[in-house]
């Protein structure tokens, strides 16, 4: 029963982040997977996302955006997983307080590639604040960037 | 003479960042001012930049993007100012190595407003690496976010 | 009346941080000032705090330690200032949850000098989490380092 | 031949960091291992390193200090490994420029334990700047803190 609530809550969040956030639509972001075990956020290269026309690489702002979204979704999934007594209403209310407090991006390599996938994990979980680490790789497995973010979850 | 070279180099960079970076065009970024004393990067709210449709606020990824650009331009202006013997070719070559090593964003308040302006200053300058602090304010002077970034400049 | 409580609470915290934290005693830290308007934490150079015997400069770990303490004290003072209805017991309980979530140090210049003073200000205040910026200067006003820290305050 | 130079250079650095840095001696730091594959820096709990007398936990400043040292040593080992043509003099000169540009610490759990070990890896290597990630664990394998640092190596 409560697993149904968790699954439903995460599916609703994925739907919103995938379809109903205007800036995500502008970038063409795709929430490819989102469950209690984690998230995959994918962005596909297109000319408008280029940061350097000579090198044809992804703009660092796109990298930061994807890693921030991955971190927020990862933090929220961690909250959902933290106990089994959630009501759907309680989770929906928690979602309204979800927000980034601070974010660090480490740019490792130029953003070359066609399909970039962001993933993350919780490194500190709490009822109010969670800290996540995130990674961005291209379709060949090249590691483009690391992120570390602190998120308000309640 | 060398001041002409500096002015010319910064004007060329402003032109590229203002007009010829596809992702800057997608966001509608405007390099409003760029000289040895600093930079003002402006982004005007439009529906596509919204991160939360209920609250109608700027997406945190736009904030990160603007602050990263401000930091890079601030670091480069600091390099240009650091001595008087630059040739235009030397500065153009340095520009090709300009890149973000790491970036921290502190989100202070929701991104409400119509016109957001990013400014910055150099806190550590070097011939290879510079560190900058950046700020984003809305048109009413509300402080939306701080940034701290470490940039490769040579 | 409540101002007396605030003053008393901050004086108790200053006493603990100044006298009863073993690591602060090892470094010789001095909480020179602590009230609702801020804090000054002072460390005086001594041979044991040196990080580089050739350059005779303060170890970066001492810098990080002082800035972290300044940030925590600044965050707590901000919480105390946030409303007028505190009881001494409530503030003492909040103190037990005070802790650093994350900390960024930007090292600007070598730590040369005899007396180093750390100061800070709150950049984001909340009932659960606050974010502070901190600075370390030597006795000649040379700016040695910046800090940015996110603190749990409840 | 050049491997002998590398081994010798790292052994010299380990000797200095282990024995001849006054602040390392004050904390009782032990460079337990240092070679091209990485570093282990160990600190053993003693009363003077305590940050909270009620909880008897390691002071966060000790954690920051250990992780910063681990990051610097890891960055230098990466530089040593980067090619085979080093002379001992070249490496000794590089060591004089080794320094922390910025450092982020994420505190995950209270520093309970008897023996704390810091380890790290290079996430971005360069001839001038390297970025490392570091971890601190106690003797039971409990993960106490993460670090991320940007280091000047030339």
Kindly indicate the confidence band of residue C72, based on its pLDDT and cuts at 50, 70 and 90: very high
DSSP B49: G
Tell me what pLDDT residue C135 has. Answer: 98
Judged against a pLDDT cut of 60, whether residue C70 lies above it is answered with yes
Closest B-chain CA to C135: B123
Pairing label, strands A38-44, B38-44: unpaired
Kindly indicate the confidence band of residue C2, based on its pLDDT and cuts at 50, 70 and 90: low
Give the closest of B102, B129, B148 to D152, CB-based: B129
Best mutation target, D15, D62, D103, D134, to test chain C (most C CBs within 10 A):
D103
Look-up of token digits 């480069």: B76
DSSP A40: E
Best mutation target, B128, B133, B148, to test chain D (most D CBs within 10 A):
B128
Cα distance from A87 to chain B (closest Cα, Å)? 22
Cα distance from B4 to chain D (closest Cα, Å)? 31
**Averaged pLDDT, D58-62:** 98
- Is D104 in contact with C102 (Cβ distance < 8 A)? yes
Direct distance between the N- and C-terminal alpha carbons of chain B, in angstroms, rounded to an integer = 23
Neighbours, chain C (3 or more CB pairs < 8 A): A, B, D
Tell me what pLDDT residue D43 has. Answer: 98
The model's pTM: 0.97
Rounded Cα–Cα distance for residues D18 and D12 (Å): 10
Tell me what pLDDT residue C49 has. Answer: 98
The topology (CATH level 3) of C3-152 is: Thiol Ester Dehydrase; Chain A (3.10.129)
Report residue B32: phi and psi, to 5°: -75, -30
Best mutation target, C99, C126, C129, C153, to test chain A (most A CBs within 10 A):
C129
Judged against a pLDDT cut of 60, whether residue B78 lies above it is answered with yes
Tell me what pLDDT residue A3 has. Answer: 78
Percent of chain A with pLDDT strictly greater than 90: 94
pLDDT digits (tens, 9 = 90+) for B2-22: 679 999 999 999 999 999 999
Question: What stretches of C82-149 show up as alpha helix (H) in DSSP?
Answer: 88-97
The reply to whether B19 touches chain A by the CB within 8 Å rule is no
Instruction: Report the half-sphere exposure of C117 (CA within 13 A, side-chain side).
Output: 12
Pairing label, strands B38-44, B50-52: unpaired
- Is A129 in contact with C148 (Cβ distance < 8 A)? no
Q: Which residues contact A107 (CB under 8 A, 6 or more apart)?
A: A60, A63, A144, A145, B99, B100, B101, B102, B103, D124
Tell me what pLDDT residue B53 has. Answer: 83
> Crossing angle of helices C60-81/C2-19, nearest 10°?
160
Name every chain D residue with its beta carbon within 8 A of the beta carbon of C26: 26, 48-49
- What's the alpha-carbon Rg for chain B, to the nearest Å? 15
Percent of chain B with pLDDT strictly greater than 90: 94
Cα distance from C108 to chain B (closest Cα, Å)? 5
Q: How many Cβ atoms are within 10 Å of C149's Cβ, its own excluded?
A: 28
Kindly indicate the confidence band of residue A78, based on its pLDDT and cuts at 50, 70 and 90: very high
Pairing label, strands A38-44, A30-35: antiparallel
Segment holding B137, helix H or strand E? strand B129-138
Q: Which residue has the higher pLDDT, D52 or C107?
A: C107
Cα distance from D1 to chain A (closest Cα, Å)? 32
Residue B38, Cβ density class (10 Å: 0-12 exposed, 13-18 middle, ≥19 buried): middle
Tell me what pLDDT residue D2 has. Answer: 67
Asked if D104 and D67 touch (Cβ cutoff 8 Å), the reply is no
Chains B and D form CB pairs within 8 A to the count of 25
Pairing label, strands D50-52, C50-52: unpaired
Judged against a pLDDT cut of 70, whether residue C23 lies above it is answered with yes
Q: Which residues contact A120 (CB under 8 A, 6 or more apart)?
A: A38, A39, A67, A70, A71, A73, A74, A132, A133, A134, A135, A147
b/e map C100-114, b = 16+ CB within 10 Å: bbbbbbbbbebbebe
Q: Both tokens of residue D142?
A: 């409990």
DSSP D127: S
Judged against a pLDDT cut of 90, whether residue A104 lies above it is answered with yes
Give the closest of A104, A108, A123 to D108, CB-based: A123
Name every chain B residue with its beta carbon within 8 A of the beta carbon of D123: none
Tell me what pLDDT residue A2 has. Answer: 67
**Averaged pLDDT, D86-108:** 96
**For chain C, what is the HEC assignment?**
CHHHHHHHHHHHHHHHHHHCCHHHHHHCCEEEEEECCEEEEEEECCHHHEEECCCCEECHHHHHHHHHHHHHHHHHHHHHHCCCCCCHHHHHHHHHHCEEEEEEEEECCCCCCCEEEEEEEEEECCCCEEEEEEEEEECCCCEEEEEEEEEECC
**Averaged pLDDT, D12-39:** 96
Judged against a pLDDT cut of 70, whether residue C1 lies above it is answered with no
Q: How many Cβ atoms are within 10 Å of D55's Cβ, its own excluded?
A: 12
- Is B104 in contact with C108 (Cβ distance < 8 A)? no
- Is A106 in contact with D146 (Cβ distance < 8 A)? no
Q: Which of residues 111-130 of C touch D (CB under 8 A)?
A: none
Tell me what pLDDT residue C32 has. Answer: 98
DSSP B47: G
Kindly indicate the confidence band of residue A93, based on its pLDDT and cuts at 50, 70 and 90: very high
């Amino acid at each position: 029963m409560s697993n149904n609530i968790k699954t439903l809550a995460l599916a609703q969040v994925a739907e919103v982040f995938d379809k109903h956030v205007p800036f995500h639509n502008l970038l063409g972001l795709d929430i490819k997977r989102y469950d209690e075990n984690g998230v995959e956020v994918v962005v596909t290269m297109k000319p408008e996302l280029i940061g350097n026309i000579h090198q044809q690489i992804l703009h660092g702002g796109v990298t930061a955006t994807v890693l921030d979204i991955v971190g927020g979704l990862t933090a929220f999934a961690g909250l959902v997983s933290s106990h089994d007594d959630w009501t759907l209403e309680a989770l929906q209310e928690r979602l309204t307080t979800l927000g980034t407090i601070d974010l660090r991006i480490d740019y490792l390599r130029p953003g070359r590639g066609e399909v970039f996938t962001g993933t993350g994990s919780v490194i500190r979980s709490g009822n109010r604040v969670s800290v996540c680490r995130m990674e961005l790789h291209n379709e060949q497995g090249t590691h483009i960037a690391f992120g570390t973010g602190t998120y308000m979850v309640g």
